Structure 1
Amino acid sequence: MAEKTGAIVINEAGGPDVLTWQQLSLDAPKAGEVTLRHTAIGLNFIDTYHRTGLYPMPMPGVPGLEAAGVVEAVGDGVSSFKVGDRVAYPAGPIGAYAECRNFLAAKLVKLPDAVSDEDAAALMLKACTVEYLIFRTYAVKVGDTVLFHAAAGGVGLIACQWLSALGVTVIGTVGSDEKAELARANGCHHTINYAREDFTNRVMEITNGEGVPVVYDSVGKDTFMGSLNVLKRRGTLATFGNATGPVEPFSPGLLAQKGSLFVTRPTLMDYTATREELELCTGRVFDAIREGHIKADINQRFALRDAADAHRALEARATTGQTLLIP
């Protein structure tokens, strides 16, 4: 007989009010799966894209892409995990906003003793995003100067910490003086408050007119053209989010006019598509935590049932660092 688990369910795309608490049936794990009891669930901006329909998800469905928990049952053919193992996942499949769920063992990683459940849930998706951006989308070098938008956000703070530890100079945009102070405290060398400063002019001032080899941009529409304008010849714009809305269509000829630029729209799912890539990515993250290069900055916790309130806070830019949902 199937057990029951509480979960946040979306029946139709919309605002935070579409996030409803329901009891769902939970079957025994199938071959290749384990049953997880979540202990902490990460909140990410991509969750709001799924909720609004910007990134369509199956409906009715359960949102959420990352969590940490404990293995409670193991399906046939699973030998890499056992009941009681502490585990986490950074990139779905979608369905993390639940007390318990069945999950593919191939998409799961064990947590080292040095990494707590809350730190894993707070860091995994965001830190794995930073990993692929700075090691694989554009591999930074010691002495590079880079621009990272939304430097005081969940991804931004981790990026500032990690890049600084790697000997990279970070220019970060923020929306307030308080967020500028937070970004600097996490390793950002130059902060630009785009509420009152033109970031393109400031970046060129900071770099003595040279620009930067790479811009990491999760803001989207409002910063896209400015980001292109601060790139060096053959520079790379990694646009990995749409906080202000999707980027408007543009002609590839624009990239030639501005210096043979590269633009990419990477996703964590594509950078962790194989078991080898997942282990490379999470291994680097765990090493960075152990070495003190990155740390969780959990500034908000909401009960899982209150996921709608968490979404409202996130979209109102009222959060800093990482936010957890606690089952």
Structure 2
Amino acid sequence: TVFTAEYKEIMFDVVELPSVYCFRCPFNKSNEKMNVRCSYECIEEARSVIRRHKDEICAVFVEGGVQGAGGIIPFPPGYIRSLWEETRKYDILLVLDEVATGFGRTGKMFGFQWDLGARAKPDIVCLGKALSGGYLPVAATVVSGDVYRVFDGELWEYKHFFHGHTFTGNPIACASAVENINIFQQDDVIRKIQPVIQYLERKIKRLINLDYVGDVRGRGFMWGVELVKRDKESFPRDFMAGWRVALDMWKKGIFIRPLGDVIVINPPLSIKLKEIDLIVDALEDSILKLKSST
């Protein structure tokens, strides 16, 4: 509120798309314990929003298939495909934020590939974090040929994208990013991580049977375990169930962070199966200890 009040005069209007939070579906299509009766109302509503505002919207911004800081919320199948189709119809840019989801985090090189495959692509993709394998802070904005050509021209045409930063193009950071990309290609990383992802998914989904677990959701290496008092009823905020579980795991030497009452499990691609066992088994034990506090 403070931000919008202070900068209102220089900000542009935005249009919000409906939530894709399946566990707490705004269209009341989900029950407790991952039981969803979905007819993809959120997809149809997103299409409808774009159609209604097609003459006002210049771009649609969306994360790469999984909301990260929002609570590890995976999009329903076909969601990004529907946005891609609608933006193609009305000449609207589709911008994908793959900072958290890119480079194998969801099980594919980029999260949008689950819906779009190898051929259909967004207009702009934002990369970071895993771009350098986590070794150095580096980010990149990747654009389509059509977007690039808007800024391509002679110096005197002033078509260049002049908005730069002091620390842009650090050669060491860029070298680490290039080498990281080479490793992904040469070592066939995406193929090799598939058995690990399958093991992690099987292991972590068992937690849904615990009393204080309302939802287990995710894709690839990005998982969220939502803690509830019962069914969909949240714990009181001052109870801080997420932090209680996190602190208990820290005592076991496992450092995780909660997003509210969502426990985030987001391991590196190099994790071993025995390390997955260690993390998930410890998480189960820590969740069970909530009973003594309620």
Please indicate, yes or no, whether the TM-score normalized by the shorter chain is above 0.5.
no
TM range (shorter): under 0.3
TM-score (norm 1): 0.22
More helix by share: 2
Larger relative contact order, structure 1 or 2 (CA cutoff 8 Å, min sep 6): 1
Larger Rg computed on CA atoms? 2
More strand by share: 1
